[in-house]
Amino acid sequence: MDVTFMGAEPRVDSHLSWWRYRYRPILGVLLLPSLLLIGVFSYYPAVRSLIGGFYQWNGFSAPAYAGISQFRQYIQAPTFGTEARNLGILVGGSIAISLVAQFTAAEIVIHMPRRAATVAKYVLVLPIVLPPLVLIEVWAYLLQPGSGLVDRILGAVSLPQPTWFSDPHLALVGILLVGFPWISNLGFLIFLGGLQNLPKEIKDASRIDGAGPVKRVFAIDIPLLIPQFRIVVILSGIFAVQNFIPILLLTNGGPGTATLVPGLDMYQSAFANDQYGYGMAIGTLLFVAMLIFTLAVMRVLRPRTN
């Protein structure tokens, strides 16, 4: 390890060095339980499910080797295309929502007077502590057909009252609406942190060059925040794939297959249909798809400097 700093010679404390050497095995032993627990509860299940996709298993009888047949079965299933399309819409929608809503909110907050900005930050961030299940319950009520608040408002102004979660054309929109206005999220904090750390000299220079607020956002803020955009896109994408809980609770993938996504199919195959091997095969395919997505985003949104 390089211990020099700004050309200065390191001053080695011989006592500290001896202490480190003496207690290194103890530190290793202290770390062992954490490593063991992570291995057992995180890495082992992940590796186990990679293997499990090659076996047919109903959860009770002995597993039977099935080769790649379950992977092929999923790709050839009549619902595969619909699931891929629904997932694409949800991932695309979630990313667009995150980028637009959270970046816009961060831009607004950063340009507010200091005291108002502090209040706005707390107000916008506090809902993060709301349990997701409560949020889903709230939206289940808001979008309840006929008697929900949204339909009541629409009815009061003589507009059609959609059935939201049970209309095959609107169900995905309903799922995307959960969490509106989508600001209270990690992405907002990431953008806010990035904007707060932009070099003041560059902002001043752009002002002197006559750049207006809109031009500054597109010419200065967005290009300099590419690393933040990258991480928000990746996190939003992964979250949209993993978070099938609103779908499970609000539509169960229906009506029909209108909101069916691979994550829900994976869960239901394993835990409702007793097809654990098939569920693990779907999980493995999802893992590969998300890996490709992540690498592609990192490639496309890599920092470009001259």
Partner 1 sequence: MLRRTHVGAALVAAGALVAGCSGGGSASSAGSGGGAAVTIKAVLPPNTGPITAADNAGLKDLTTQYEKAHKNVTVQWLPNNMSSITQSNAQLESQASGGSAPDVVWEQYGPVTSGALPAGLLQNIKPYLDKPNPYVPGSSSWLSLFQSSVVPYMTSPNGDIDILLGSSVETGFFYSKAAFAKAGIAGPPASWADFMTDLGKLKSAGITPLMYTTGEPCNPSWFERLATSSLLANQVSQFDVNHAQVTNGLDVAVGIHKGIISMNNPRYAAGWKLLGQLVGFSASGQSGYGACQNPNVTTPPQSPQPLLIQGKVGMLWGGSWWIPQLNSAGFTDKFGVFPEPPITSASTPYGLGTSTLGVIGGPNGNGQWSITSQRADSTMTPAKTATVMNFMAWIFTPPHLGSWLKISGSGSYIPTETDAPTVNLPGLSSLVPTGKVPTVVDVVLDDVLSAAATNSGMRLVQNYVNGSMSYPAFASQWQSLLTSSAQAWATQNHVDLSKY
Tell the residue number behind the tokens 């600001």, with chain if given.
183
262 Cβ partners below 8 Å, 6+ apart?
Answer: 83, 84, 87, 241, 282, 285, 286
Q: How far is CA 47 from CA 42, 44, 252, 281, in A?
A: 9, 5, 28, 12
Cβ nearer to partner 1, comparing 59 with 213: 59
Cβ atoms 27, 34 nearer than 8 A: no
Cβ atoms 249, 140 nearer than 8 A: yes
Residue 95 interacts with partner 1 (CB under 8 A): yes or no: no
Cβ nearer to partner 1, comparing 57 with 105: 57
Beta strands in 63-203 (DSSP E): 64-65
Kindly indicate which of the ranges 13-21, 114-122, 216-224, 268-276 contains the residues binding partner 1, using the contact rule CB under 8 A.
Answer: 268-276
Cβ nearer to partner 1, comparing 14 with 76: 76
Cβ nearer to partner 1, comparing 124 with 268: 268
Cβ nearer to partner 1, comparing 14 with 61: 61
Cβ nearer to partner 1, comparing 109 with 241: 241
Distance CA 162, CA 295 (A): 39
Q: How far is CA 283 from CA 20, 26, 39, 47, 89, in A?
A: 43, 39, 19, 11, 19
Residue 279 interacts with partner 1 (CB under 8 A): yes or no: yes
CA proximity to 177, closest of 263, 261, 259, 286: 259
User: Least Å distance between CB 287 and partner 1?
Assistant: 4
Distance CA 223, CA 301 (A): 10
Residue 55 interacts with partner 1 (CB under 8 A): yes or no: no
Residue 152 interacts with partner 1 (CB under 8 A): yes or no: no
Cβ nearer to partner 1, comparing 18 with 271: 271
User: Least Å distance between CB 180 and partner 1?
Assistant: 18
Structure letter (DSSP) for residue 42: I
Question: Within positions 239 to 258, which residues make up the interface with partner 1, using CB under 8 A?
Answer: 241-242, 249-258
Kindly indicate which of the ranges 83-91, 191-199, 200-208, 233-241 contains the residues binding partner 1, using the contact rule CB under 8 A.
Answer: 233-241
DSSP string spanning 171-199? HHHHHHHTTTT--SSHHHHHHHHHHHTS-
Binding-residue pattern over the window 194 to 213 for partner 1, x denoting contact by CB under 8 A:
--------------------
Q: Count residues binding partner 1 (CB under 8 A).
A: 66
Residue 132 interacts with partner 1 (CB under 8 A): yes or no: no
Residue 49, CA atoms < 13 Å, CB-side half-sphere: 22
User: Least Å distance between CB 276 and partner 1?
Assistant: 8
Q: What count of other Cβ atoms lies within 10 Å of the Cβ of residue 139?
A: 23
Question: Within positions 164 to 183, which residues make up the interface with partner 1, using CB under 8 A?
Answer: 165-168
User: Least Å distance between CB 53 and partner 1?
Assistant: 9
Cβ atoms 146, 63 nearer than 8 A: no
Residue 80 interacts with partner 1 (CB under 8 A): yes or no: no
120 Cβ partners below 8 Å, 6+ apart?
Answer: 108, 109, 112
Residues that bind partner 1 (CB under 8 A): 42-43, 45-46, 48-50, 52, 58-61, 78-79, 136-137, 140-141, 144-147, 163, 165-168, 234, 238, 241-242, 249-258, 260, 263, 266-275, 279-280, 282-284, 286-287, 290-291, 294-295, 298, 302
